[in-house]
Structure 1
């Protein structure tokens, strides 16, 4: 590389020298047109200097890329020394997720195939095999299965969304810190925003980003048409929600009108059990549950009061949400919304893909893209009240390497290669998840079939990060969920719910920050 650079310098210097020599020749030779000719030479000199600077910049860029590739190649060579000379390296992966996210497992198989091609090109007679399974499994069942496997020393090498969060796995000593591997193979993440992969907890990185999930507020266009809305009004609803003009108070009124007219059975549905979408109205108020400056969990009593008041109104005042909503079966939730029996749904981007791959519709079965675009609209979550902010959570989901793995670095490489743009495009389109690699947006399948994701990408500047790097977050979730369940059932008032949360949080969570 250095020799090539020297050659470029020499050639350019020679050309510049010839031009300068020619200019001197003209200067010492008297001629009436010398001024014009000298100006022409100066212009050519400046043009050449500009091209030289451009060449030098491109060379530096190429040199930087070469150095990155060389670093990864050397890292791979050092890894080879840990392989058996011949034979098979066997890995196992357990992947959880929504029904349309099977590519989480499929892409690990493809990642292993790609790694095998690399190893073969290096002359190694070693093969990596991976048994990757995908399940749409309840959280508690996943936790029990993983715990049993760990205790039997039969845990998988790789997991994703399988019962425990990355923070919990790190706290339990089950996860492998990945900082060293990110340093060695940084070229694999060159087009991944740093904020997507550098999610630190206790000073270390624990995940390989596999996708980004964005929460989405859905509404039935066909029901709004039956209510007498014009197409112009329907098409304007998302924008009005996104700019804060239409708030949750307005949404509850629209939902009640639809119920009063007998057009829907319920006005608003939210998810079953605890989860990110339930906390968005709190963040809309400017609240937060984690203070990055102190590393402590935090709650605001005034914002909690407004938060619980919203759900109290939904279930007990406007009565547009079932009081037992939080215990409602998932299939009933999706079936009711997909068949137009519910007007609004507090969901996520992945549901758009799920509805087109699971037979929820009682006539169509799986929704067609045409039906979805014609009858279902989407936006950010509405502002909790006037003056609050519309928004949503965006959170990366990632593979975690477990510390019982005999080949953690190989597992890391398989997971990293599983997220390359061509593979990631399949997962994003099928599962309706945002990509982590910038290059994925240029893959033909994403370009042709990723219209929904492209629209969501325009809203990400109004979202909040869902990453919660605190070991006691699950305890706070349990406390919040207990209070919310009782509020929706009409068992306690919003103020009683605040008191319950504060009392339990003080007693059960270490050094939690409680404000106003």
Structure 2
């Protein structure tokens, strides 16, 4: 049986036979309206558009089967400034019994939606439709899981990692084998975060760069891949609560102090502007920078690079392990589709999400918006081959991806950790005092929503 035929049979079975709610709709109405909530986001306009397109595909299948049912999608585009504000607005809509059938959300909100009863458990749907989901990059399922169950479908992915300047390494006499072998050395656990700090300091000491490495100058999730390198688990899978290991956090802060003391990391990094951070790397003043793959277009333009010259000058690394033999990490932040558990047509809504998540529509979104794929097969599709060379390269990093905890309080958690980072980098706090400060603040602000382990 062909893959396309298999999909048609699956969709028709779902729409015509399985969901009792939909069967009732068929008896009394020929039109079924699915309400979709999506944030108005110029960086991802096809998040809503692909669901609309999926309805058009489904209607063709229904017509081919002789059904008079027609599915339409009613789109509500929210103008919230960010995904956190948008999620709170979705919550308010549900509280007023005006919630959508499908909504788009940042993955870290899935736990809050599950606890409120607004997210459908997708396990049975996923297991019943292997043709639609078997090619999903496995690690991405972690982003939609809560207490061991999947409650959403990854809509896109990204990679946040270290960028490094190969030309600077050539200037200080490093061999080509060393330069091109760094990614493999990191993956094999042979090149550690301490090695990275030493190398960055060497590049500065020998005059090839003004700064060793730079990072974001404000609160954000990027630091979590470094924390993962130190074995810090940010959440408890059994309870869904946030988590912090004080001893391991002190180890992370000890490394930060080491990097500052070695001259690899500017002491005043947390007082920089974003423009200064970007300029440091794009202006070839900094040897390294850790941030996201969406930086590539600006790097190409400002650094006057091309597809052919990009990887000759720049390379990408996971966040190396703390110690030799450890596992490196990077960070991904998928946006996801969630089906409401309150929906009268949740099985039909889930099938629309499945169709919108197939290779062709998702690839159009990914390449046009600068996101890595959600499925292995997308990397060989014409759009990725022709226009998505950087995204294909990023997809190879996904097996080492980590994700923010699926907890609504991850924002305040990140803000408290950042205060500790700031204190240690500026020298106001020792690593041990910085870790103790973070733990005290987490306990005070998050209460029983955070589990503390590993104290000194």
- TM-score, normalised to structure 2, is 0.79
Structure 1 unaligned blocks of 5 or more = 1-61
State the match for 1:206 in structure 2.
151
Higher relative contact order (CA 8 A, sep 6+): 2
- Check whether the contact 1:269–1:333 (CA below 8 A) recurs between aligned residues: yes
Q: Distance in 2 between matches of 1:443 and 1:466?
A: 26
| Secondary structure of the structure 2 residue equivalent to 1:94 | strand
CA contact (8 A) 1:72 1:185 kept: no
1:153 CA drift (Å): 5.8
Paired with 1:391 and 1:464, the residues of 2 have a C-alpha distance of 6
Other structure's SS at 2:103 match: strand
Residues 112 and 130 in structure 1, CA contact (< 8 A), matched pair in contact too: no
* Structure 1 residues 195 and 256, CA gap change in structure 2 (3 angstroms): closer
Residue 280 in structure 1 maps to residue 225 in structure 2: yes
User: Residue 236 of structure 1 aligns with which residue?
Assistant: 181
2:50 alignment partner, one of 107, 116, 122: 107
Q: Cα offset for 1:104? A: 3.0
Deviation at 1:369, TM superposition (A): 2.6
Could you tell me which of 375, 378, 381 is aligned with 1:440?
378
Give the alignment of 1:176-325 within 5 angstroms: 176-179=120-123, 181-182=125-126, 185-192=129-136, 196-197=140-141, 199-202=144-147, 204-260=149-205, 263-292=208-237, 297-315=242-260, 318=263, 320-321=265-266, 323-325=268-270
Alignment of 1:48-447 (within 5 A): 70=9, 72-78=11-17, 79=22, 81-82=24-25, 85-87=29-31, 89=33, 91-95=35-39, 101-122=44-65, 123-124=67-68, 126-131=70-75, 137-143=81-87, 146=90, 157-162=101-106, 165-179=109-123, 181-182=125-126, 185-192=129-136, 196-197=140-141, 199-202=144-147, 204-260=149-205, 263-292=208-237, 297-315=242-260, 318=263, 320-321=265-266, 323-325=268-270, 329-330=273-274, 332-348=276-292, 350-351=293-294, 354-356=295-297, 361-362=301-302, 368-386=306-324, 388-393=326-331, 397-402=335-340, 407-431=345-369, 433-447=371-385
After TM superposition, give the deviation of residue 506 of structure 1 in Å.
4.5
Task: Give TM-score, length-normalised by structure 1.
Answer: 0.71
1:495 to 1:236, Cα distance in 2 relative to 1, 3 A: same
Aligned to 2:291, the other structure's residue is in SS state: strand
Mapped partners of 2:248, 2:80: distance in 1: 34
Determine whether 1:499 maps to 2:440: no
Q: Following superposition of structure 1 onto structure 2, how do residues 454-465 of structure 1 map, counting pairs within 5 Å?
A: 454-456=392-394, 458=396, 463=400, 465=402
What secondary structure is seen at the aligned counterpart in 1 of 2:169? helix
* 1:157 CA displacement: 4.5
Counterpart residue number, 1:32: none
> Cα RMSD (Å) of the superposition?
4.1
Aligned mates of 2:364, 2:6 — CA distance in 1: 31
Residue 430 to residue 66, structure 1, CA distance change in 2 (3 Å): closer
Tell me if structure 1 keeps the 8 A contact 2:34–2:349.
no
Cα offset, 1:445, TM superposition: 2.9
Please, which moves more after superposition, 70-79 or 147-156? 147-156
The Cα of 1:453 is off from its aligned counterpart by: 4.9
3-state SS, counterpart of residue 222 of structure 1: helix
CA offset digits 1:140-160 (Å, max 9, x no partner): 554565566556665554433
Mapped contact 1:305–1:494 kept (Cα < 8 A): yes
- Residue 442 of structure 1 deviates from its aligned partner by 4.2
Question: CA offsets per residue over residues 60-114 of structure 1, 9 Å max, x none?
Answer: xx699999975643221043542573457253332488x7544434433432332
Distance 1:301 1:259 in 2: 32
Q: Against the structure 1 CA distance between its residues 164 and 390, is the aligned structure 2 distance closer, same or farther, given a 3 Å change threshold?
A: closer
Number of residue pairs matched?
446
Instruction: Name the residue aligned to 2:453.
Output: 514
CA distance in 2, matches of 1:94, 1:391: 30
Contact 2:109 2:406 in 1 (8 A): no
Distance 2:408 2:345 in 1: 27
Q: Distance in 1 between matches of 2:168 and 2:80?
A: 31
Q: Please say if residues 34 and 101 of structure 2, whose CA atoms lie closer than 8 Å, have aligned partners that are also in contact.
A: no
In structure 2, do the counterparts of structure 1 residues 323 and 426 end up closer, same or farther at CA, with 3 Å as the change threshold?
A: same
- The 1-side partners of 2:385 and 2:110 are apart by 31
Q: Which moved more, 1:408-417 or 1:128-137?
A: 128-137
Asked whether the 8 Å contact 2:3–2:131 carries over to 1, the reply is no
Preserved CA contact (<8 Å) 2:197 2:262: no
Aligned positions of 1:473-484 closer than 5 A: 473=410, 476-484=413-421
**How many Å apart are 1:378 and its aligned residue?**
0.8
Aligned with 1:73: secondary structure?
A: helix
Provide closer, same or farther for how the CA distance between residues 138 and 489 of structure 1 changes in structure 2, counting only shifts above 3 A.
farther
- Whichever of the two has the greater Rg, that structure is 1
Q: Once structures 1 and 2 are overlaid, which stretch shifts more, 471-480 or 333-342?
A: 471-480
